[in-house]
Amino acid sequence: MNTHSMLTNKPSISKSTIGVKELAEHAGVSVGTVSRVLNGESSVSPKRRDAVQKAIATLGYKRTSAAQMLASRRSRSITHTGNIAMVFVGMSESWQGHPTTAALIHGMDQACSDSSFHPLFETCTDDRHLPRCIANGKVDGVLIKSSNIVPRFMNQLPDYLPRILVGMAEPTLACTQVLPDHRASAWVATEYLWDKGHRRIAFVNNEDLHRIFICRYQAYEQLLRSRRAFDPALVVMKQNEERGFEPQINFPDMTYAVDQLWALKQPPTAIVAANDWMAAGLYQAFKKRGIQVGRDVSIVGFDNVLSVCCMLEPALTSYQIPLEDVSRHATRQLMNLIENPAEKLNHSTQMLSGQLIERDSVVDLNSTLSHI
C-alpha cells in the first residue's frame, strides 16, 4: 500500500528513539508491514519479515507494552506515532480483496499520500475487544468502518484518541461520522425508473435487517408515496440470514422474489434491487423463467461493482456509491482532529452523494409507447 523506501546508507539512530518508523526505514519496508510483523500477522512475505526482524536485532528495538504505551499517550509524554488506522468491523481477512474494501483502502491511501501520516488497516470479527492497533497504542487516530452495528469496543476507546465512524449513521453516537448518502442513492435510482415511464416498480431485498438496505427501501417508498404509486405488494423482503464474517461467493438465489412478484395479476415492469449482488441473482432467476432483463423487465442495482455489472447480459445500470470519496474525506477529517484536538468536540454527520451509471438493463417505456 505504501511506497517502500529502499535505503542504502542507514543513519545512526539512538536506541532511545527507535520506533516503528525507524524500523521501517532501516528494513526498507512500510510502517504497516512492520506493524503486521510486530503483531504476529501471517500476511507478510518471508523476505520482508526477515528484513524487519534483522532491523529489530540490529537497532536493538524493544517493544513498549500496551499498558505503558496507553499510559504515556494519556499523559502526553510521548510524540505521535504518525500512524492512523482503518478498522473493518465484522469483516474477516477474506474481505481484503473485495471491491468495497479496496475502494476504502485506496481512498485512505490517497489522503495519506499528501500528508505525514501512514495508513494501517485491521479487520475485526470480535467487536467486544479493542483492535490490536489501538490496544497497543500504535495509532494517533482511527477510522471505524462498520455497515450494520456500532462496535461494542466504542465505549472502551481512550478519550484522547480521535475517531470517525465510516459507512453508517448512528444518531446517538457522539463522534464525527462520514458515510455515503444511501437514501439519496435510492431516491435517484427509483426516480430514474419513474422518468423512464415505469409505474409498477418493485423493491427486492434478501437482508431485511441490514441498515444500508433499510435506508434504500425507505427512500424508495417515500418517493413512490409522494407520487401516489406505492404498492406494498411490490415489496419483497426476506428475513435476514446470518452470513457470518465471510463475503458471499455465489449470487443469492432470488427465485423466491421472482415467483412472488410474478404471481401478481400485474407484475412489476421494473425492480430496484438492494445491491448489485441481489440484482445478479434476479438475472439468474429471470433466465430460468425465460424473462429477458432489459426487454421484459428493468433492473437497477447499487454499488456499481464492475466485475458484476459488466459481466451481466445486458450490463446492469447501477448507482455508484462513493466509497473512495468517503474514505478520503474521512481520513482528512481524522488528520484534522489529530492536529487540532479541540475540534473533537464539534461532532457532525456528513453524507456524500454518488451517481447513477446507466447501462442496458432498463427499458425506456416512454420511447416504447411513442412507437405504438
DSSP per-residue string spanning 201-247: EEEEES-TT-HHHHHHHHHHHHHHHHTT---GGGEEEPPP---TTSP
- Out of 97-101, 122-126, 343-347, the most confident range is 122-126
| Model pLDDT, residue 114 | 79
Whether the bond between 247 and the residue before it is cis, its omega within 30 degrees of 0, is no
Judge if 15-59 and 81-180+325-353 fold alike in CATH terms: no
Least confident of 4-8, 152-156, 331-335: 4-8
Share of the chain above pLDDT 70, in %: 83
| Model pLDDT, residue 94 | 64
pLDDT band at 65 (very low <50, low <70, confident <90, very high): very low
| Model pLDDT, residue 302 | 98
Instruction: Please give the CATH topology (third level) of the domain spanning 15-59.
Output: 434 Repressor (Amino-terminal Domain) (1.10.260)
- Out of 135-144, 232-241, 261-270, 337-346, the most confident range is 261-270
Which residue ranges make up each domain of the chain?
15-59, 81-180+325-353, 182-321+356-370
Largest distance between two CA atoms of the chain: 84
| Model pLDDT, residue 95 | 65
Say yes or no to pLDDT of 331 above 50.
yes
Least confident of 12-21, 215-224, 234-243, 258-267: 12-21
Which CATH class for the 81-180+325-353 domain? alpha beta
CB 165 within 8 A of CB 173: yes
Task: Kindly give the interhelix angle for 99-113 and 323-339, rounded to the nearest 10 degrees.
Answer: 40
Whole-number Å distance between alpha carbons of 284 and 293: 10
| Model pLDDT, residue 22 | 81
Task: Fill in the amino acid letter for 133.
Answer: C
CATH of 182-321+356-370, one of 3.40.50.2300, 3.30.1540.20, 3.20.20.70, 3.40.50.300: 3.40.50.2300
| Model pLDDT, residue 49 | 83
Say yes or no to pLDDT of 223 above 70.
yes
CB 108 within 8 A of CB 86: yes
Task: Kindly give the interhelix angle for 20-27 and 31-38, rounded to the nearest 10 degrees.
Answer: 110
pLDDT band at 109 (very low <50, low <70, confident <90, very high): very high
| Model pLDDT, residue 17 | 55
Say yes or no to pLDDT of 106 above 90.
yes
C-alpha cell, 174? 457522539
Closest alpha carbon to 96 in 24, 169, 36: 36
Could you report the per-residue pLDDT of 31-63, keeping only the tens digit for each? 667 766 776 666 678 888 888 888 888 887 765
Say yes or no to pLDDT of 12 above 70.
no
CB 89 within 8 A of CB 70: no
In sequence order, the 6+-apart residues with CB closer than 8 A to the CB of 265 are none
Say yes or no to pLDDT of 26 above 70.
yes
Higher pLDDT, 323 or 78: 323
For 315, counting Cβ atoms within 10 Å of its Cβ (0-12 exposed, 13-18 middle, 19+ buried), the class is middle
Share of the chain above pLDDT 90, in %: 57
